[in-house]
Chains A and B, each alone.
Chain A
Amino acid sequence: MLARVAENLYWMGRQLERAENTARLVNATTQVLLDSPAGIELGWDELTRVMGFPDTVGVTEAEVVHLLLLDQDNPGSIVVSLRQARENARSLREVLPREVWEQLNNLHLRAPALMTAALDRSRRHAALREVVDARLMLAGLLNETMSHDAAFQFLRMGALLERADMTSRIVDISSAVACTAPGGLGMETTWISILKALSAFQMYRRHKNVRISPKPVVSFLFSDSRFPRAIRYCLENIESILAELPDPADPLRATRQAARLLSKVEHSMELDDGLPVLIDEVQQRLCEVHNAIHESYFSKPKPMAEAGMPTQLHAQA
């Protein structure tokens, strides 16, 4: 497979996953805030912070939602992610099943109207849900109609790495919101909303069988190796994909280093600032996995900012 094609597939995977997770994240945040006492506006600047915009203290809900869903200048907004994924798919039409292209093209064409609808709280849930559903349909089409060859694996690897990164961001905002919540907002409701946003609530109940409290939830989202949105699951799958690719030594090493951090999660949560520091470290490691994949398989390394990755997270942490 051509190096350039592998690279475009990888980015297409990332961009699709990014759009889905941003939709999940905005939905979850909206749900959390609906549970908070009337008159209290919180969390929106936390949301922009975890999405890579550190200097947005005091932004309003309308501004944040616009920024994350519709902003043409935000390379991570849903409409831009989908447009980039579609542009990549356009350069990949000879390797993708035709139905995949049509489904993605269609989603891209509908996105601006859907995301405009989502500015309105009463229509937000349905509109964002539609993005998530369309993305899942794409994942299904890919899984069921495309050969599981190297092309498929590069696409999947991009998606898994992006998902690991986004899960870490989602945990980040949840812990921030839960910690700073004033009186009325119980921590439990926050974590339930987050688990639901990640479609993780039922699976958590079934496999953990403990009441919802921060430590087991974070530990589930970090270190479960069977739940597909958990970071460990993502990294272990990247590892087995890499094992089948030519010359995987460098990216394999980076992936294993990232995975090793995950076991520190329970311990870190006993420390004051433990979790934010750990999340920073995890994201740093994920970045190194990305760089190693680039250097091993793609043409010229693409600067992260240009490719639409939010930069440093806890800049002031």
Chain B
Amino acid sequence: MRCENYPKTMFYDELIDEHGEPRATAKALCAHLNAQSADELRARREAIDAAIMTMGISFTVYSDAGNIDRAWPFDLIPRIVPESEWRQIDAGLKQRLRALNMFIEDIYNEQDIIREGVFPADVLDGSANYLEACEGMKLRHGAWAHICGTDLVRGGDGVMYVLEDNLRVPSGVSYMLENRGLMKRLLPELFADQTILPLDDYTTRLYEMLASLCPRDTDRPVIVVLTPGVFNSAYFEHSYLAQQMGAYLVEGSDLSVDSDDVVTMRTVAGPRRVDVIYRRVDDKFIDPEVFHPDSVLGVPGLMRAWRAGKVAIANAPGSGVADDKIVYTYVPDMIRFYLNEEPILPNVPSYLCMREDDLAYVLAHLDELVVKPANESGGYGMLIGPKATEAERAEFAKLIIAEPRNYMAQPMLALSTVPTLIGDELAPRHVDLRPFILQGKEMSVTTGGLTRVAMREGSIVVNSSQGGGSKDTWIVKEGV
């Protein structure tokens, strides 16, 4: 396997520079790869695939033909970020989440940011994620979105941009941890030669963060992970996190709310009080008394218990108000408004279809832009202009005109690439990066994050539900 044969492209590559040379932090890796024969690499890859099957690292794809439990797609060439750059990103992510949480609490209370004219009130009028049931609530540590998965992309200019903030039920952290486990198990020699920062402590920090939300004064809070059940696409992650934290993995039917607004779970020894719920069920399904009356995933009375302060819910209901691609465009303003700081991480330049000028521009440049609905996730319902047909663009234009509030557009990004093992060769494939940020009593960021890779040549869709794979992400100390 020769890194020298790696094709040059117009894109920024995370491991190889514009002269075809490995970047400083990728030298050891490339030397190692150069020393491996194609047969050896193939054997490693087969070992990894077998390990993934045995370990049952899977995700579910919903399809017309029924739900399929698929093995987690993993590429063994890691993505490398220099530690000095990572420190900046870490600070930028914390800054961003701090501002977002202040925004959420403000929006459900005083609405200073609207009164001061920084954020337009009519954005909220159309927001499907604004919950009246949250008005007037003040939460411990001012934290609403306790677990945030922020998607970062590097453009052709080499700058790391924030693509979106996932504040509802972001997933992927278990795969990040499993990817590292696989790499250490199957390519241990790579870890011996250089300083790759460890990331084992995420679940400990998650536990401590959740414990810091406990409404009771107790040393041993009862923490549960609320899952929609074994058929959910992220079920593997739910059970993984519960297992790693020693928390209970519960379904809605295991919980109930008693007449004192206390949440209890049904155990073999009778009901037991629950203090903190890390819920992996969407807002609209958590309480059939308040939202979808026919939801069987939720717990009747849960919102009542939460409002009464008898139970903590992470992420708090209503956090999704800030996880919206329109609200996203205001995050730099939020940072200036609440923190009086300049944003460390830039947003991707965006056009809001609710603004007349922007709308005209978007409709005139549909063939250059990526258009996204305000509150879909998983890469569903978006238009990738340059790759769409004329007819698809015309169809999409009608959707935008019918509901401009619901759409925003961004220039097609020249996403950076990482060498990826395709057959027996290294080929460039586009990647993004999802670090996870926690905010409770304290804040923390994962060391690196989940690197998702679009396995199809030229594709920029990295979602695992749409053929994306993943890589281990190394934060490497330079000059060691």
Contact = CB atoms under 8 A, between A and B. Distances in A.
Interface of A: 1-6, 87, 90-95, 98, 101-102, 105-106, 109, 150, 154, 245-246, 297, 299
B56 A6 contact: no
B53 interface: yes
B266 A3 contact: yes
Contact of B267 (A2, A90, A92, A105): A2
A93 B248 CA distance: 11
Nearest to A246: B269
Interface stretch (B19-27, B239-247, B322-330): B239-247
B239 A93 contact: yes
Contacts of A299: 253, 266
A109 B54 CA distance: 8
A3 B54 contact: no
A299 B251 CA distance: 12
Given A91-B230, A94-B240, A245-B268, 5 more contacts: A2-B266, A94-B243, A101-B56, A102-B55, A246-B268
B342 to A, nearest CB: 43
27 contacts: A1-B267, A1-B268, A1-B269, A2-B254, A4-B251, A4-B253, A4-B254, A87-B230, A90-B230, A90-B235, A91-B230, A91-B249, A92-B239, A93-B240, A93-B242, A93-B243, A94-B240, A94-B243, A94-B249, A101-B56, A105-B55, A106-B54, A109-B53, A154-B268, A246-B270, A297-B268, A299-B266
Contacts of A6: 268
Given A94-B242, A94-B247, A105-B55, A2 B265 contact: yes
B250 interface: yes
A98 B254 CA distance: 24
Contacts of A105: 53-56
A141 to B, nearest CB: 14
A106 B51 CA distance: 10
Closest 7 CB pairs of A and B: A94-B243, A94-B242, A93-B239, A246-B269, A105-B56, A297-B268, A94-B249
A241 to B, nearest CB: 12
Interface string B14-57: 00000000000000000000000000000000000000011110
The secondary-structure label for the interface of chain A is helix
Contacts of A101: 55-56
Interface string B256-291: 000000000111111000000000000000000000
Contact of A3 (B55, B235, B254): B254
B270 A94 contact: no
Interface in B299-318: none
Contacts of B269: 1, 246
A246 B270 CA distance: 9
A39 B230 CA distance: 50
A250 to B, nearest CB: 14
Contacts of A87: 230
A2 B250 contact: yes
A102 B56 contact: yes
A2 B240 contact: no
B445 to A, nearest CB: 25
Contacts of A2: 248, 250, 254, 265-268
A98 B55 CA distance: 8
Interface in B417-462: none
Max chain B Cβ within 10 angstroms of own Cβ: one of A3, A91, A94, A246: A94
A154 B251 CA distance: 20
Contact of A94 (B54, B55, B239, B268): B239
A307 to B, nearest CB: 16
Nearest to A89: B56
B379 to A, nearest CB: 26
B250 to A, nearest CB: 6
A32 B109 CA distance: 79
Contacts of A1: 267-269
Max chain B Cβ within 10 angstroms of own Cβ: one of A3, A6, A109, A297: A3
Contacts of A90: 56, 230, 235, 239
Nearest to B235: A90
Contacts of A109: 53-54
Given A4-B253, A93-B240, A150 B268 contact: yes
